[in-house]
Each structure stands twice: as C-alpha cells, then as structure tokens.
Amino acid sequence: MRTIGILSFDDPKIDGSRKILHVDMDAFFASVEQRDNPAYRGKPVIIARHPKENSGKGVVSTASYEARKYGVHSAMSAAEAYRLCPQGIFVSGNYALYREVSEQVREIFKRYTDIIEPLSIDEAFLDVTDNKKGIPYAMDVAKEIQETIYKELNLTCSIGVSYNKFIAKLASDYQKPFGMTVITPKRAIPFLEQLPIEDFYGVGTRSAEKMHELDIYTGADLKKLSQDECIQYFGKAGLALYERVRGVDDRPVKVTRIRKSIGKERTFYPFLYHDNEVEETLRKLANSVSEALGKKDMHGKVVTLKFRNVDFETVTRQTSLVDAISNSQDIYFYALDLWQTYGDVSQGIRLLGITVSDLSQLAFENIRLNLYEHQAKEAETLAYKSNTLLSENEEINENKNIKEDSTIQPAPDQAPSEHEDGDA
C-alpha cells in the first residue's frame, strides 16, 4: 500500500459542522491507461490522437503526471504536446472504459454516503456528516475511501476535507497526486488568505487577469474589499466572492444533478461545399452557444458537433474535457477539431450544430469588472460615432434560409461517438 500524503492545517476534527469531501481522481484517463497497460507505467501518457497519424490535428484530453513534467496539459493541441514531449505515448482514449471505472468509483462512495454530487466523470462532492459507517471524523472517512479506491481499482485520488464545498474543492487541489488536505473552520481564513487568487475555484485565467488589474493577487488582497466594492467591481459574482474568501459557503451537496445541454443548430440552402464556410459557421455557432451559456451562468465539459450532408446522413461526434468551458473561442476550438477530424465538406453540408453538455454552474469565471466595462463602453461609443465608413442605410444580411434552434434539454443517453462523458 502506498503512503497517502496527508496535510492537516489543524486538529482534523470538524466538530459541529458539516463534513464535506471533494474527491478528485488523479489524471484519471491517463491513470486508467497506465493501470491496464503495464508498458505505459512510469512513462508520459497523453490522451489524444497522435498528430503524425492525424495530420497534426487533435486536442489533449489529459496527460499523466510524467507528461505534465514536460509542460503537456489538457486543452493543448496534440501537435504542441508532441513538440514538448516527442517520446510521449499518445492514446486515443477509451471513454466507455473510463465511464465504467467512474461508476466503480461511485459504488465505493455509496458504501459511505448517498449524498453524492458528481461534478464530472472524475470528481465529486460527498457529504459524510452522517455517514453510513458512523465514522466520527471526516478525515478517517476520506482515508478509507482513498485506500479502498487504491486497493480495489489500483487508482489514486486526491481528497479535500472541510466544512463546505468551496474549501473542500480547494483542498483537493492543494496536494496532488494521492494527497489529502484537511481544513477546519479554525484554519479556513489563514488558508484562504495565503492562496493565490488564480487558485480560487472558479477564478479562471481571464478573471485572474482582471483581478490583477485591481492589485488582487491573493485571498488576503480580495478580503480587503468591502461587500459593496466586491459587487461594484465583480457584478453578480461579487457577493459570492465576498463570502467565499471569508470561508462562507452554505450550498448543499446536491444528490440530483439534472444533466442538461445547450446547443445551436443551423440548416443551409444552398448547401455548404467549402471548409471556410463551415469554419465561419462554427465560429458563429460557438458564439451563440457561449452567449446562451452566459445567460444561464453555466459551463460544460462535453462539446458535441453535429452535421448532416445533402443525403440527410447525420453524424454526431463529441469530445470530453477535463475542465469545463463556456468561452466562445474554447467551444470553437473543440468543435473545429471535431470537424477537421470527422467532417467531409465535399458531400455538401445542409446542417451544422454545436452543443455543450455535462453542465454545471459557473463560479466566478464570468466575473465582470463593472468599472472597466463602463470605460470600454464609452470608448466603443466614441469609436462608433467617429466611424463614417458605413452609411446609415447599409445592412449586413445573413442568409434568410438559415434557421437557428436553441435548446436547453436533458443530454441524450446514447453514445454517438467514441468520445463520451459520464458522471463520477
């Protein structure tokens, strides 16, 4: 049995509070491949189609820790991953297997609690306050789960233990792989204050850059802002930020998560016969899907491309991601990768569609700096008034035959391609 690294910021008893775990499987897809293929163990494994076999196309789903040492990470192009790590073992991925193993992990969770909130195929929140085995301390529950997963499935996970979901999620990322971090109410504030702001769950790269403009680099910097200032700078995310940096998060672990998807489709006549037409349409669809996600404050981990040729043959392909996305550029990037891999415009295209599914609520990635937004709008207005290139009567018309369908519906249970996602 391997030694589990445990970091406790205090006495690991979380008395008088909820006991929440966040379990995150370590480099899940790559770890399953290494487990089942002895030749892969200890070597850099990259879950992506090999660029030499795929005309340089493809995107990395995840990479083993050995590959990460070379700078390989999820969402990177396979070509770039190969440049950084030419000795890497590229594996297309067996998503049906990953989903099966994910279900095995969940069955282990159920031995301890039925209050399980899956975030994706490889991570979940567990409320073990009143666990089935009557174990008094959350850390002991976490240790048993971690040891059982390793013993029965030969896989490692990292676990965050705390009194709410936000801090438990941060804790699971603090010591990876095969680590455990316990943060009690007494130690929550010191832990949050020393944390770089980009490590806050939900604060992505773009949001962190905006915060840096306000000289916010750590939790301590954020904590200096009043509630009114947080709302002024960050809009509707401001109140949540104000509470989270003070260790407050009353959200329950939700047993039932309704799987939804948000998608856009367009039909064409005349049909599309050129790649540049397809690419431009995919960009517009990605923008529309991103806008729809933004209205719902959601992001997703599965991107699906649908296309139909002139003979009404419909093809649906999807890819599963490690990190949820909502940005139009990200959505376009993955949809275009699917098209370049599976599409054929020579047959004529009558329908294109993009769907993002396996949705979850955005945390702070949609932060708006209202002050800067106001200044940007003023500049935009001035630029518009000074622009004399377009006459008042000039219009930009889109093809009137294009039809758009916006859907928010349960994700299909069927598996339309080799790229498929499931729950943890």
List the binding residues for Mg(2+).
24, 122
To 10 degrees, what angle do helices 165-174 and 185-194 make? Answer: 60
CB 35 within 8 A of CB 155: yes
> Cα dihedral sign for 5, 94, 356, 63?
positive
Numbered residues of the known binding site: 24, 122
CB 408 within 8 A of CB 262: yes
Residue 302: strand, helix, or coil: strand
Tell how strand 298-309 and strand 123-127 pair up.
unpaired
CA distance linking residue 17 with residue 162, whole number of Å: 9
Tokens in use for 341?
């891999």
DSSP string over 59-97: B--EE-HHHHTTT--TTSBHHHHHHH-TT-EEE---HHH
Catalytic residue among 33, 66, 123, 365: 123
C-alpha distances in Å from residue 94, one per residue of 36, 47, 179, 251, 388 = 11, 9, 26, 34, 56
Residue 123: active-site member:
yes
CA distance linking residue 263 with residue 407, whole number of Å: 5
Q: What is the number of other CB atoms lying within 10 angstroms of the CB of residue 196?
A: 12
CA distance linking residue 237 with residue 416, whole number of Å: 36
Show which residues are catalytic. Answer: 123
